[in-house]
Amino acid sequence: MSLRAAPRTGLLLVAPALLLLAAVTAYPALWVLWLSLQRRVPIFGIAEFEGAGNYLFLAGDPRFWSATRITLAFTVISVLLELVAGLLVALALAGQRRGRRLALSLLLLAWALPGVVTAKLFEWLYNPAAGLVNYLLLGAQINWLGDPALALPGLIVADVWRTMPLVALLCYARLLTIPAEIYEAARVDGAGDLAAFLRITLPLCRSILLIALLFRTLDALRAFDLMFILTGGGPAGTTETLTVYAYRSLFQTLHLGLGSAIAVVVFGLVMLVAWGYLRALRREGLTA
Amino acid sequence: MTRAILAVCLAGALALAGCADSPPRDGGGGPVTVVFKHAKLLGPVDPLAPLLVEFAALHPEIRVRAEALPWSSDEQRQFLVINLEGGNPGFDVMMLDCIWVPEFARAGWLLDLTPSLPPGELAAHFPSAAEAARYRGRDWALPWMMNVGLLYYRADLLARHGLRPPETYDELVAAIRRIRAAEGNPRLEGYLWQGKQYEGLVVNVLEGLWAAGTRVLGDDGRVFPDPERAEAVLRFLRGLITEGLSPPWTTAADEEITRRAFGQGEAIFLRSWPYAADLFELPDSPVRGKVGLAPLPRHATGTAGAGSTGGAHLGVARGTRHPEAAITLARFLTSERAQRVMAESGAVKPTRPALYHDPALVRAFPSLPRIHDLTLAGRPRPVTPAYVILSTTLQPELSAALVGVKTPAETVAQSRRRLEFLLEGLGG
Amino acid sequence: MRGRPHPTLRDAAVLLGLAVYALPFIWQVLTSLKPEAELMRLPPLLPSRLSWEHYQVVLERSLMLRALLNSLGVGLLTTGLALALGLAAAYGFARFPVPGKGPLLLAIVAGTAFPQIATVSPLYLLMRALGLRDTWLGLILANTSFALPLVVWLLAGFIRDLPVALEEAAAVDGAGRLQTFQWVVLPLVAPGLASAALLTFLFSWNEFLFAYTFTATEASRTAPVALALFPGVFEVPWGDIAAASILASLPPIAVVVGLQRFLVRGLVAGALRE
């Protein structure tokens, strides 16, 4: 039997996955757009088309703009911190001679945990009375999660803690592929550590850093479990991201139309960022 | 290697799939099982267990499976809503916060109890409790536990400085300043109340609005019909915190946090519910014998202070397969006998006014007649299916005002805009 | 280079640093073993004795055990489903002229970027209509909706990288399509499958948004949701929550630590495509 590819077999192989995705991913993605154009309150039995009403409301809604600002601030700061920390940790790991497996295991612990576990972890650490953080700060009585100025930084620290290992892992894998000879040659030429880092490591890691940037930005924009459990969006909405606002509108007020509109905004934001990055990556010649 | 992984996955999955069956439904004949969802009752003794044993003896054909709801009120409601919305909830009798009853009735999730209740059954309960159970002229739930907001005060401290319980908030503030100046105890707080971002905050603000002679929903459905007064109330509450009359942690305080602080003797005034009264009189309580109960004060612009009534009702899910058994259980638990047993355990107040003058109960809990009068003078929160939308929308706004992130004017204006959008066309 | 620290000292320093990084988790383990009376007082940091009371409470009096079982079942079945469908699709895309392959693959890759908050409300309505709320199947389908695009993307790349010559040689030797797939392709793609399985299981176990929305009772509630709804009466039971947290973390930690190298390979392959 020759290996001439039969299109029908190909379709048969691909069909089940496509059908499932069409049903549970593509169809809902279109449905949410449709929902966002409705005024839909199941408890009151209201389901009527109202066009752009939800979006018009959001345009003048201070809570929506606050959530947008918080989402963007959270994303930018978290991702920046993760990238810097991740690269540094990867460098430390790559130079590891013994105990690599143990090192990686310790590092990946933070990443493996469910978001809810991380949230409970940090909620306990930040406890004003019995938390480790206040203890290490020599008995300070800081109410981390109850202070409007401190809650968002506290949230960001928790998020960076759990996602930095991923960035470190990606950079580490990349660093492993750089032959040691390059560094040796540089040393022979008299280059110092810093010069080697700036002239060799960074440029070679650029592609993986951009990819990590893409993954992490998308994840940070979509993040939900950590802020929902750690602070619930409080205090006074200072950690309420768009995802939390959407969820509360959907399942607390049961205004499916408004909640869907907010979700569509998140959707649009994420796809915009993804498209922007992919174009940038394409220019770098990184994707087909 | 791959095959091994796939095989393990499949085997494990198939093995576990067998555990995924839902609990078997009982067929005809034999005892019916009624599932009863309730929140854990605060208090030293659990009164429900012996009551259910008694019920089992009275009704051997009905088996009751009592299951706990999540702890926080929000989670309880979310759990109930998600299950009832889906159609077959998996429970028959549920404990409801009285503010949910109109909403659940409107959504068609509750069984109409009107045909099954003898006339006058609801009349034996407090009027505000019965009012909360009624929607569009039909009865949808049975009152089970009663609550009313009231003012606790340190009678010993007030007496020492020749003060009566304050009738206005100005008197309250003056009393705090005088007592604190005289006592010289820096750890003595003034007025404790619940300012955390949750339903309790809305209750506190509503009581403030009523004390100022205004309210949150006008007769025409307008939100904050008197915005200036509403702003003044918010300014006052924020002022309590900024001027140190209430501690800074008020913005994260709920019932238990404030109750404990007052119970340790750390404050002069406390706004809370009746359940705390018995806890303050426990043998090892530092404030035993020193606590008085009073109606909430009023603002200068109001006529009288009124506490918010509240409590829990029992409802029957409309999709229940055993309506008669479920109603029998609900009526048993809300009967005079059962409410007496629950009152004896402390921390739960009955919805039947007659029990408040029962000699045996009054001997055990001397504050009962006082609480009875306060309950009669209390006001229910707006009895409308849209109350939860109203409350969950107001909570973050009010919290922002208390914390100082928004001015009272901004809070009132933005709340109005949002609520008018959300409540439009929802009627009642 | 001048002044290089001794390698073993350096290694030890790095390990120490990473141990400090894992401190939040270690602290939670300590908390879960602290007797109740010592929880709210610091110092002392370390428990005076190891107490299993919190684990006892969690395992005997909460619904955590059932939740762990649910997580395991949903996780394994999601992984099985995603791998089966994903491998078939990846092979189809990589080796066959599927009409519209380009746009389809692009759409699938775009699917990995979808935010869950966008599909949660339509899926909720769908689950309700199909009676799948509070069932394993509902969760499996919802989780697969997000795991499958990633699996297809990963595996399609893996297979595409395999030289066709090997399969052609097998065909020349008289092997049929299925045999070629089973004996030539599958063993070569095995590491990719392991990575995909690991990532899918991890995602499914840790998944919260869908599980929180689509489950109602312990019949289907997964471990993260059970932890989020952990009952407390007066105060928050920090010790019990710590114990429940550790229990909910053990499987994903075991999977990640035990199958480390597949993780590196999988993430790198996905990221360093072409």
Nearest to A236 among B74, B81, B400 (CB): B400
Q: Which of A54-58, A98-102, B341-345, C177-181 has the lowest mean pLDDT?
A: C177-181
Interface of C with A in 162-191 (CB under 8 A): 164, 167-168, 171, 174, 176-177, 180
Q: Which of A24-28, B217-221, B321-325, C215-219 has the lowest mean pLDDT?
A: C215-219
A98 interfacial to chain C (CB closer than 8 Å): yes
The pLDDT tens digits of the residues spanning A173-219 come to 888 888 888 888 888 888 787 888 888 888 888 888 988 999 999 99
C131 interfacial to chain B (CB closer than 8 Å): yes
Q: How confident is the model at residue A4 (pLDDT cuts 50, 70, 90)?
A: low
Nearest to A57 among B85, B252, B421 (CB): B421
Rounded distance between C-alpha atoms, residue C144 and residue C159, angstroms: 21
Rounded distance between C-alpha atoms, residue C140 and residue C85, angstroms: 13
Q: Average pLDDT in the A100-129 region?
A: 92
> Which fold would CATH assign to domain A53-283?
MetI-like fold (1.10.3720)
Contact residues on chain A for C28, CB-CB shorter than 8 A: 117, 120-121, 124
Which residue of chain A comes nearest to B389, CA vs CA? A253
Query: What residues does B269 pair with on adjacent strands?
Result: B153, B191
Nearest to A46 among B85, B396, B425 (CB): B425
Tokens of B159: 């007496």
* Whole-number pLDDT of residue B201: 94
Nearest to C80 among B3, B10, B20 (CB): B10
A188 interfacial to chain C (CB closer than 8 Å): no
Rounded distance between C-alpha atoms, residue B346 and residue B42, angstroms: 9
Bond from prior residue into B165 cis (ω within 30 degrees of 0): no
B425 interfacial to chain A (CB closer than 8 Å): yes
DSSP conformation class of C43? S
Q: How confident is the model at residue A286 (pLDDT cuts 50, 70, 90)?
A: low
Contact residues on chain A for B402, CB-CB shorter than 8 A: 236
Nearest to A43 among B107, B418, B422 (CB): B107
Contact pairs from chain A to chain B, CB under 8 Å: 71
Q: Between the ranges A52-66, B247-261, C231-245, C260-274, where is the mean pLDDT highest? A: A52-66
Q: Do A266 and C21 touch (CB under 8 A)?
A: no
Amino acid at B41: L
Q: Is A21 exposed, middle or buried (0-12, 13-18, 19+ CB in 10 A)?
A: buried
Query: Which chains, if any, share at least 3 CB pairs under 8 A with chain B?
Result: A, C
* Whole-number pLDDT of residue C40: 81
- Is-contact B334 B319, C-beta < 8 A? no
Contact residues on chain B for C134, CB-CB shorter than 8 A: 22, 83, 86, 90
For chain B, give every domain's residue range. Answer: 31-147+309-380, 150-306+386-423
Helices (runs of H) and strands (runs of E) counted in chain B: 17, 12
Which residue of chain C comes nearest to B40, CA vs CA? C233
Tens-digit pLDDT profile for chain B (428 aa)?
555 555 555 555 555 554 444 444 444 557 899 999 998 877 667 888 899 999 999 999 999 999 888 777 777 887 888 788 777 788 999 999 999 999 999 999 999 999 999 988 899 999 999 999 999 999 999 999 999 999 999 999 999 999 999 999 999 999 999 999 999 888 899 999 999 888 899 999 999 999 999 999 988 888 999 999 999 999 999 999 999 999 988 988 888 889 989 999 999 999 999 988 888 988 889 999 999 999 999 999 888 889 999 999 999 999 899 999 999 999 999 999 999 999 988 768 999 999 999 999 999 888 899 999 999 999 999 999 999 899 989 998 999 999 898 999 999 999 999 999 999 878 65
Assign B309 to helix, strand or coil. strand
Contact residues on chain A for B199, CB-CB shorter than 8 A: none
Read off the pTM: 0.86
Let me know if the fold of B31-147+309-380 is the same as that of B150-306+386-423.
yes
C117 interfacial to chain A (CB closer than 8 Å): yes
Amino acid at A243: T
Contact residues on chain B for C213, CB-CB shorter than 8 A: 82
The alpha-carbon gap from C175 to the nearest alpha carbon of chain A, in Å, equals 7
Which residue of chain C comes nearest to B90, CA vs CA? C217
Tokens of B390: 């109203």
The alpha-carbon gap from C67 to the nearest alpha carbon of chain B, in Å, equals 11
For chain A, give every domain's residue range. Answer: 53-283
- Per CATH, the homologous superfamily of domain C63-271 is MetI-like (1.10.3720.10)
Q: How confident is the model at residue A288 (pLDDT cuts 50, 70, 90)?
A: very low
Q: Do C234 and B83 touch (CB under 8 A)?
A: no
Contact residues on chain B for A61, CB-CB shorter than 8 A: 417-418
Q: Which of B76-85, C56-65, C133-142, C219-228 has the lowest mean pLDDT?
A: B76-85
Query: Which chains, if any, share at least 3 CB pairs under 8 A with chain A?
Result: B, C
Which residue of chain B comes nearest to C188, CA vs CA? B2
The pLDDT tens digits of the residues spanning C109-128 come to 888 889 999 999 999 889 88
Contact residues on chain A for B419, CB-CB shorter than 8 A: none
Q: Do A112 and C93 touch (CB under 8 A)?
A: no
Q: Which of B332, B322, B334 is nearest to B33 (CA)?
A: B322
Contact residues on chain A for B414, CB-CB shorter than 8 A: 62-63
**Alpha carbon distances (Å) from B271 to B241, B366, B398, C164:** 15, 19, 18, 78
Tokens of A234: 């409080």
Give C201-235 as a DSSP string: HHHHHH--HHHHHH--STTT--HHHHHHT---SSS
Q: Which of B244, B253, C190 is nearest to A146 (CA)?
A: B253
Tokens of B257: 């946090």
Rounded distance between C-alpha atoms, residue A47 and residue A38, angstroms: 7
Q: Do A112 and C202 touch (CB under 8 A)?
A: yes
The interface predicted TM-score of the complex, written ipTM, equals 0.90
Tokens of A60: 């003048």
**Alpha carbon distances (Å) from B53 to B57, B63, B94:** 6, 10, 18
* Whole-number pLDDT of residue B18: 46
DSSP conformation class of B317? B
Q: What is the dihedral of CA C83, C84, C90, C95, to 10 degrees?
A: 140
DSSP conformation class of A24? I
Q: Average pLDDT in the C141-156 region?
A: 92
How many CB atoms are located within 10 Å of the residue C230 CB?
A: 21
Contact residues on chain B for A255, CB-CB shorter than 8 A: 389, 422
pLDDT at C143 over 80: yes
Which residue of chain B comes nearest to C70, CA vs CA? B20
> Which fold would CATH assign to domain B150-306+386-423?
D-Maltodextrin-Binding Protein; domain 2 (3.40.190)
Interface residue of A2, A9, A11, A14 to substitute, partner C, most C CBs within 10 Å: A14
The bridge status of strand B62-68 relative to strand B308-316 is unpaired
Q: Is C236 exposed, middle or buried (0-12, 13-18, 19+ CB in 10 A)?
A: middle
Residues sharing a CB contact under 8 Å with residue C101, sequence separation 6 or more, in sequence order: C93
**Alpha carbon distances (Å) from A110 to A107, A164, B95, C244:** 6, 9, 40, 17
* Whole-number pLDDT of residue B23: 44
Contact residues on chain B for A62, CB-CB shorter than 8 A: 414
Rounded distance between C-alpha atoms, residue B352 and residue B336, angstroms: 7
Interface residue of B421, B423, B426 to substitute, partner A, most A CBs within 10 Å: B421
Contact residues on chain A for B81, CB-CB shorter than 8 A: 251, 254
**Alpha carbon distances (Å) from A167 to A72, A84, C205, C264:** 20, 9, 21, 11
Q: Which of A253, A282, A192 is nearest to A43 (CA)?
A: A253
C269 interfacial to chain B (CB closer than 8 Å): no
Interface of A with C in 30-69 (CB under 8 A): 31-32, 35
B75 interfacial to chain A (CB closer than 8 Å): no
Interface residue of A25, A123, A282 to substitute, partner C, most C CBs within 10 Å: A25
The alpha-carbon gap from C77 to the nearest alpha carbon of chain B, in Å, equals 5
Q: How confident is the model at residue A151 (pLDDT cuts 50, 70, 90)?
A: very high
**Alpha carbon distances (Å) from B270 to A92, B265, B278:** 56, 11, 14
* Whole-number pLDDT of residue C274: 34
A235 interfacial to chain B (CB closer than 8 Å): yes
* Whole-number pLDDT of residue C262: 80
What average pLDDT is seen over chain C?
A: 87
A288 interfacial to chain C (CB closer than 8 Å): yes
Contact residues on chain B for C72, CB-CB shorter than 8 A: 12, 16
For chain C, give every domain's residue range. Answer: 7-51, 63-271
Q: Which of A73, A271, A272 is nearest to C115 (CA)?
A: A271
Rounded distance between C-alpha atoms, residue B333 and residue B342, angstroms: 9
Q: C-alpha angle with apex B334: B328 to B339, nearest 5 degrees?
A: 135
Of chain A, the percentage scoring pLDDT greater than 70 comes to: 96
Q: Which of C143, C140, C149 is nearest to C113 (CA)?
A: C149
Contact residues on chain C for A86, CB-CB shorter than 8 A: none
Contact residues on chain A for C224, CB-CB shorter than 8 A: 114-117, 225
Contact residues on chain A for B421, CB-CB shorter than 8 A: 57
Rounded distance between C-alpha atoms, residue A48 and residue A34, angstroms: 11
Q: Looking at chain A, list the stretches that DSSP marks H as alpha helix, in order from N- to C-terminal side.
A: 7-21, 27-36, 53-59, 62-94, 100-112, 115-125, 132-136, 151-176, 180-188, 193-196, 202-222, 225-230, 242-251, 256-283
> Which fold would CATH assign to domain B31-147+309-380?
D-Maltodextrin-Binding Protein; domain 2 (3.40.190)
C68 interfacial to chain A (CB closer than 8 Å): no
Q: Do C228 and A116 touch (CB under 8 A)?
A: yes
Assign B216 to helix, strand or coil. coil
A57 interfacial to chain B (CB closer than 8 Å): yes
